[in-house]
């Protein structure tokens, strides 16, 4: 079977936004809560407090995102909900009024599309909140509710708010706040498919699917893909699967997954022993122990063999998300770890995703600390922001960095070099994670490339050809904890 994925994703750079924490509108059109005292923006976030970010604020930040080079946004949930992260869905057809409601999202979507920025929404289709109308009807009417078979009811009475009695219904991870749908009920299935279709028709460019592995009903995700793609063949369907995702990446379900299998070894290689284990040990990925270049090359080689190439090009690659600590904090504040990992992120096959604030040096531990308010400009790390801007611009400028072949050229100790090639465009990316400078010597045969590399396109270091040797050799000199991209003077 020929696997087809959205072409635009292969050329996308995503920005993940947690709406409550990204931006307050300066010109709010809010109908409700106009004078509400939100949780202070710059104080540590709490599990239940709202900071009041909204979609008008995101619209006002589109200039910033465009200047950064972002051409796709992934929003964590924006539907009406009873929590600041909005994974407790209350109404799938209504954008949360705190965010501005459907009208604010309409305006934002139209403005994003005018700027050629795609928008992907988070679909939480495994479970809902206790306030979801159909479940609330069961709480009110018990066994007389017509919605009884929409959930997994196990007995009576239901106990949605107290831990002193059995819940008597299935909640996600035994969380009473999150009743799980009965996906074996055809009506539930139809209802969820219609939600997906409604927002595709509204104009969104795809769905990120929350915990899709929890839905066991045979054929569910195959039907989801068929119905979504029937409305928009270029819609992006990306699943939250933290480990081996071959079960879902067979071409009949998802176009990609959140690529934690890239994040984990990349952090383990670039941050090494700087990783604070308390930040990562209870997560569903393993950015530890420290990896050598040889180990990293083996992990990346295994990853690139795991899925078809068409799928590799539409993976959602990341270094952090709302479900992890931020890399800067994982690496105990080591900025070089963030820079080295970002260089690898922006030059890897698949769509890179920047978690809001990472580009300006926003720290953050585990949830809720990883969901801090986006900092004001005086708190930005301008060097890190420029580092991101330059790498994103290079990715957009060089097709080899987006859809070119990937091949490891050198992996030894703390130095790793790989090539990205597309037709006659060839680029060499080299990193040195050591605390000492390094010289990497590559023969023409080891390179296996036609390009006479003669200039640094990005980063620090120097390069020199030694033509007098047999065979000729390229020597790359890299400062400590640094990386570079090498090309030729004939490139655009």
CATH of the domain at 230: 3.20.20.80
Considering 54, 96, 122, 210, which one is annotated as catalytic? Answer: 210
Rounded CA separation 130/378 (Å): 41
Same domain, yes or no: 203 and 347: yes
Rounded CA separation 74/173 (Å): 25
Domain termination site, one of 371, 397, 423: 397
Query: Residue 299 has what pLDDT?
Result: 98
Same domain, yes or no: 431 and 379: no
List the domain range (segments joined by +) for residue 432. 404-487
Same domain, yes or no: 309 and 340: yes
**Could you give the 3-state DSSP secondary structure of residue 428?**
strand
Q: Is 240 a catalytic residue?
A: yes
* CB-based contact 18:76 (threshold 8 Å): yes
Is the alpha carbon torsion for 87, 88, 89, 94 positive or negative?
Answer: negative
Query: Residue 182 has what pLDDT?
Result: 98
Same domain, yes or no: 361 and 223: yes
Predicted structure pTM score: 0.97
Same domain, yes or no: 427 and 475: yes
160 domain residue, yes or no: no
Rounded CA separation 398/383 (Å): 23
| Sheet with 482-487, side-by-side order of all strands | 405-412, 415-422, 425-432, 482-487, 455-459
Query: Residue 36 has what pLDDT?
Result: 83
* CB-based contact 85:100 (threshold 8 Å): no
* CB-based contact 171:158 (threshold 8 Å): no
Q: Which long-range contacts (CB under 8 A, 24 or more apart) does 274-280 make?
A: 274/331, 274/332, 274/334, 274/337, 275/330, 275/331, 275/332, 276/329, 276/330, 276/331, 276/332, 279/325, 279/329, 279/330, 279/365, 279/366, 280/324, 280/325, 280/330
Same domain, yes or no: 317 and 438: no
260 domain residue, yes or no: yes
The residues of the chain scoring below 50 in pLDDT are none
**Could you give the 3-state DSSP secondary structure of residue 341?**
helix
45-97 per-position pLDDT tens digit: 999 999 999 999 999 999 999 999 999 999 999 999 999 999 999 999 999 99
326-356: burial string, b at 16+ Cβ within 10 Å, e else: bbbbbbeebebbbbbbbbbbbbbbbbbbbbb
Cα–Cα distances (Å) from 403 to 263, 395, 428, in that order, read 19, 10, 15
Query: Residue 490 has what pLDDT?
Result: 61
Query: Residue 375 has what pLDDT?
Result: 98
* CB-based contact 284:265 (threshold 8 Å): no
Q: What is the DSSP string of 242-269?
A: -S--TTT-SSSS-SEEEEHHHHHHHHHH
Same domain, yes or no: 105 and 204: yes
146 domain residue, yes or no: no
Locus of tokens 């070894």: 265
Domain termination site, one of 363, 397, 431: 397
| Residues sharing a CB contact under 8 Å with residue 146, sequence separation 6 or more, in sequence order | 137
Same domain, yes or no: 392 and 420: no
Same domain, yes or no: 383 and 409: no
Rounded CA separation 384/380 (Å): 8
163 domain residue, yes or no: no
Domain termination site, one of 362, 397, 432: 397
Query: Residue 489 has what pLDDT?
Result: 61
* CB-based contact 149:142 (threshold 8 Å): no
Total domain count, the chain: 2
Locus of tokens 């020199």: 464
Q: What is the DSSP string of 345-404?
A: HHTSSSEEEEETTGGGT----STTGGGPPPPPGGG--HHHHHHHHHHHHHHHH-HHHHHS
Query: Residue 27 has what pLDDT?
Result: 75
Considering 20, 54, 205, 240, which one is annotated as catalytic? Answer: 240
Locus of tokens 């959205």: 6
377 domain residue, yes or no: yes
């Amino acid at each position: 079977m020929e696997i087809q994925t959205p072409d635009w994703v292969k050329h996308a750079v995503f920005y993940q936004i947690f709406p409550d924490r990204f931006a307050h509108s300066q010109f709010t059109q809010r109908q409700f809560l106009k004078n509400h005292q939100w949780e202070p923006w710059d104080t540590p976030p709490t599990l239940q407090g709202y900071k009041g970010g909204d979609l008008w604020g995101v619209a006002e930040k589109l200039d910033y995102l465009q200047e950064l080079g972002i051409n796709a946004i992934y929003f964590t949930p924006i539907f009406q909900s009873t929590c600041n992260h909005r994974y407790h869905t209350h109404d799938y057809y209504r954008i949360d009024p705190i965010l501005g409601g459907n009208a604010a999202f309409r305006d934002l979507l139209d403005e994003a599309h005018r700027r050629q920025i795609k928008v992907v929404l988070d679909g939480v289709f495994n479970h809902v909140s206790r306030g979801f109308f159909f479940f609330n009807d069961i709480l009110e009417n018990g066994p007389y509710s017509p919605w009884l078979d929409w959930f997994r009811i196990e007995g009576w009475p239901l106990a949605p708010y107290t831990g002193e009695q059995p819940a008597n219904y299935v909640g996600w991870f035994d969380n009473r706040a999150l009743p799980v749908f009965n996906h074996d009920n055809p009506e539930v299935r139809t209802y969820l498919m219609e939600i997906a279709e409604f927002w595709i028709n509204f104009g969104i460019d795809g769905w990120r699917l929350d915990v899709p592995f929890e839905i066991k009903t045979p054929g569910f995700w195959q039907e989801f893909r068929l119905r979504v793609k029937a409305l928009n063949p270029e819609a992006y369907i990306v699943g939250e699967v933290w480990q081996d995702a071959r079960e879902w990446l067979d071409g009949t379900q998802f176009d990609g997954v959140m690529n934690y299998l890239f994040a984990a070894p990349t952090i383990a290689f670039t941050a090494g022993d700087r990783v604070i284990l308390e930040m990562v040990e209870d997560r569903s990925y393993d950015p530890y122990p420290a990896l050598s270049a040889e180990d990293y090359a083996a992990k990346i080689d295994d990853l690139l063999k795991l899925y078809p190439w068409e799928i590799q090009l539409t993976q959602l690659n990341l270094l952090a998300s709302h479900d992890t600590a931020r890399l800067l904090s994982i690496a105990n504040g080591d900025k070089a770890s963030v820079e080295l990992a970002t260089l690898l992120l922006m030059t890897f096959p698949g769509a890179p995703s920047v978690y809001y604030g990472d580009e300006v040096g926003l720290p953050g531990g585990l949830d809720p600390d990883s969901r801090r308010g986006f900092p004001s400009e005086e708190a930005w790390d301008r060097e890190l922001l420029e580092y991101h801007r330059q790498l994103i611009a290079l990715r957009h400028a060089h097709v080899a960095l987006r859809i070119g072949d990937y091949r490891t050229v050198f992996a030894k100790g703390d130095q790793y070099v790989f090539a990205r090639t597309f037709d006659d465009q060839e680029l060499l990316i080299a990193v040195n994670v050591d605390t000492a400078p390094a010289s990497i010597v590559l023969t023409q045969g080891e390179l296996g490339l036609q390009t006479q590399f003669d200039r640094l396109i990005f980063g620090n270091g120097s390069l020199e050809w030694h033509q007098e040797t047999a065979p000729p050799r390229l020597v790359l000199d890299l400062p400590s904890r640094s990386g570079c991209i090498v090309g030729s003077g004939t490139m655009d």
